């Protein structure tokens, strides 16, 4: 069963769910989206576009990002930013000077926490890897490498442009320049067996990164794999692989703190923790999503998705394509959809702090989920049980 998709049922209106308002806005993060890749991977459903022969319009895109950020400042004025995540796409295709300019422009307009976590996603191509020293000098202090596998067979099956040797070189170089490194791995790949997965995990562990993200390959709609599926391991084998990942990384000293995330103690991704605890985030760039709260409401935004439309929006600062206030009836599900991905869950009082609603509006649902063995509500926390972690969609449906 995939943990990345939730069955889209119509939400029920909580009884007595009158919003009391937020006592204070939650922590704030910044997400910056870079929409270009060398080539679109057949499993990818993110907003990414293959680079055309004319290349990336880097200067124009950086100009648009600055204009987008400036137009959004009134909505976040005076709020300190605790983390920045530059994702994509392949943001490591940015030139050294381009990334340096981007971070300088952000610092000039937003009050960054002095200890802010600033993450860049990168792919293990040799051109990008050669830029790691410059990225670190610009202020990037956490690097997330899209390894997926160290085995050429599976990289080829996934349509990746790098080799296993490229991946190893990139990890070695990343660890030379960054203390905080995440490696993305995928499992349940076409033709993959438990011994293949064990080899990938062993290689990753031997490098000793602070953080590992391990994702089950899923066939997402509107992808090449969805329309022409490759032969994948059967569901039972895939479930065994998930258990293999968890057991292997636990034995190696990694803490399983979120559905797909494992870290050394103290090494959790702060930016993603803000998402999972229903914090706020301003999203700029083509197709970027954002969630912003004030004392009255929670608003979700999405920027224009196509790079051309996003660049054109600079003429009148019309970067936001859609915006809506999250209804009171939707807030419990939205909160739980994030919080219950955390293995240790969240404090019970965080529900009201982030939604403005009393916990009583979901009390009956909490009781029923606990009765079914999907949820634990002890020690002042709400957390998924071991069963709830395995059947997260079933757990979340209680809050729809």
Bond into 89 cis (ω within 30): yes
Q: How far is CA 282 from CA 131, 143, 177, 299, 356, in A?
A: 27, 20, 28, 11, 20
Strand, helix or coil for residue 250: helix
Q: Quick one: pLDDT at residue 20?
A: 52
Contact, 231 vs 189, CB < 8 A?
no
Does 314 reside within a domain? no
Q: How many domains does one find in the chain?
A: 2
Pick the last residue of a domain from 231, 247, 274.
274
Q: Which residue has the tokens 């340096």?
A: 100
Q: Judge if 216 and 353 occupy the same domain.
A: no
What are the phi and psi torsion angles at 182 (to 5°)?
-110, 140
Answer yes or no: is 130 within a domain. Answer: yes
pLDDT at 296: 83
Residues 38 and 142 occupy one common structural domain:
yes
In a domain, 136, yes or no: yes
Positive/negative CA dihedral, 38, 40, 43, 46 = positive
For 142-190, give the DSSP string: EEEEEEE-S-HHHHHHTT-SS-HHHHHHHHHHHHHH-SEEEEEEEES-T
| C-alpha to C-alpha distance for 39 and 167, rounded to whole angstroms | 17
Q: Is residue 118 part of a domain?
A: yes
Q: Which residues pair with 283 in a beta bridge?
A: 31
Q: Exposure of 114 by Cβ count < 10 A (0-12 exposed, 13-18 middle, 19+ buried)? A: exposed
One domain for residues 106 and 225:
yes
289 occurs within a structural domain: no
Give the C-alpha separation, 9 to 1, whole Å. 17
Is 329:13 a contact under the CB 8 Å cutoff?
Answer: yes
Helix (H) or strand (E) holding 113: strand 112-122
55 inside domain: yes
Q: Does residue 336 share a domain with residue 201? A: no
Judged on CB neighbours under 10 Å (0-12, 13-18, 19+), 152 is middle
At residue 398's C-alpha, the angle toward residues 392 and 400, to 5°, is 100
Same domain, 49 and 144: yes
Judge whether 36 lies within some domain: yes
Q: Cα–Cα distance between 304 and 49 in angstroms, integer?
A: 14
Residue among 49, 45, 37 at smallest CA distance from 4: 45
CA geometry: angle 255, 45, 208, nearest 5 deg: 25
Residues 257 and 383 in one domain: no
Asked if 269 and 200 sit in the same domain, the reply is yes
What pLDDT shows up at residue 294?
87
Where would I find the H helices in the chain? Answer: 58-76, 96-109, 126-129, 132-138, 152-157, 164-177, 194-207, 224-227, 235-251, 270-276, 307-312, 331-339, 350-355, 363-371, 386-390, 392-396
Burial class (CB in 10 A: 0-12, 13-18, 19+), 42: middle
Helices 194-207 and 164-177, axial angle in degrees (round to 10): 30
Residues 224, 362 within the same domain: no
Asked whether residue 294 is assigned to any structural domain, the reply reads: no
Contact 269, 211 (CB under 8 A): yes
- Angle (deg, nearest 10), helices 194-207 and 235-251: 30
Q: Give the predicted TM-score (pTM) of the model.
A: 0.93
Q: Which of 274, 293, 310 is the last residue of a domain?
A: 274
Q: Which residues of the chain have pLDDT under 70?
A: 1-20, 126-127
HEC profile for 300-331?
Answer: EEEECCCHHHHHHHHHCCCCEEEEEECCCCCH
pLDDT tens track for 100-138: 999 999 999 999 999 999 999 999 986 677 789 999 999
Domain boundary among 230, 249, 274: 274
Spatial CB neighbours of 257, under 8 Å, sequence gap ≥ 6: 263, 268, 342, 343, 344
CATH at 168: 3.20.20.70
Altogether, the residues listed in the chain come to a count of: 400
* CATH label of the domain that carries residue 346: 1.10.10.920
Question: Considering only CA atoms, which of 338, 384, 331 is closest in space to residue 22?
Answer: 331
Q: Do 334 and 244 sit in the same domain of this protein?
A: no
Whether residues 120 and 202 fall in one domain:
yes
| Complete edge-to-edge strand list for the sheet that includes strand 346-347 | 346-347, 381-384, 375-376
Residue 315 burial (C-beta neighbours within 10 Å; 0-12, 13-18, 19+): exposed
What domain range is 49 assigned to?
A: 28-274
């Amino acid at each position: 069963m995939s943990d990345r998709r939730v069955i889209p049922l119509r939400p029920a209106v909580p009884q007595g769910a009158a919003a009391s308002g937020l006592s204070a806005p939650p922590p704030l993060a910044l997400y910056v989206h870079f929409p270009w890749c060398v080539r679109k991977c057949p499993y990818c459903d993110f907003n990414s576009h293959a680079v055309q022969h004319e290349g990336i319009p880097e200067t124009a895109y950086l100009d648009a990002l600055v204009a987008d950020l400036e137009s959004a400042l009134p909505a976040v004025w005076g709020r300190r930013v605790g983390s920045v995540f530059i994702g994509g796409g392949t943001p490591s295709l940015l030139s050294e000077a381009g990334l340096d300019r981007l971070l300088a422009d952000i610092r000039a307009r937003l009050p960054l926490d002095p200890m802010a976590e600033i993450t860049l996603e990168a792919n293990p191509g040799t051109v990008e890897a050669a830029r790691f020293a410059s990225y670190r000098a610009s202020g990037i202090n956490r690097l997330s490498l899209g390894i997926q596998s160290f085995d050429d067979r599976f990289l080829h099956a996934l349509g990746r442009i790098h080799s296993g040797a490229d991946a190893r070189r990139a990890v070695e170089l990343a660890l030379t320049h960054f203390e905080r490194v995440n490696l993305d791995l995928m499992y349940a790949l076409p033709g993959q067996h438990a011994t293949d997965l064990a080899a990938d995990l062993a290689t990753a562990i031997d490098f000793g990164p602070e953080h590992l993200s391990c994702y089950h390959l899923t066939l997402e709609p509107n992808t090449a794999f969805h329309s022409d599926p490759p032969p994948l391991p059967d569901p039972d084998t895939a479930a065994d692989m998930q258990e293999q990942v968890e057991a292997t990384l636990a034995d190696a000293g990694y803490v399983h703190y979120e559905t797909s995330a494992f870290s050394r103690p103290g090494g959790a991704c702060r930016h993603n923790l803000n998402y999972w605890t229903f914090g706020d985030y301003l999203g700029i760039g083509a197709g970027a999503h954002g969630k912003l709260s004030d004392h009255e409401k929670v608003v979700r935004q999405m920027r224009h998705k196509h790079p051309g439309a996003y660049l054109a929006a600079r003429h009148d600062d019309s970067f936001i394509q859609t915006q809506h206030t999250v209804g009171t009836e939707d807030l419990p599900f939205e909160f739980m959809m994030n919080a219950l991905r955390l293995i240790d869950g969240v404090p019970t009082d965080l529900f009201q702090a982030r939604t403005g609603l009393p916990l009583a509006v979901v009390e009956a649902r909490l009781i029923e989920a606990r009765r079914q063995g999907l949820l634990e509500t002890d020690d002042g926390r709400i957390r998924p049980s071991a069963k709830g972690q395995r059947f997260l969609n079933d757990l979340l449906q209680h809050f729809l």
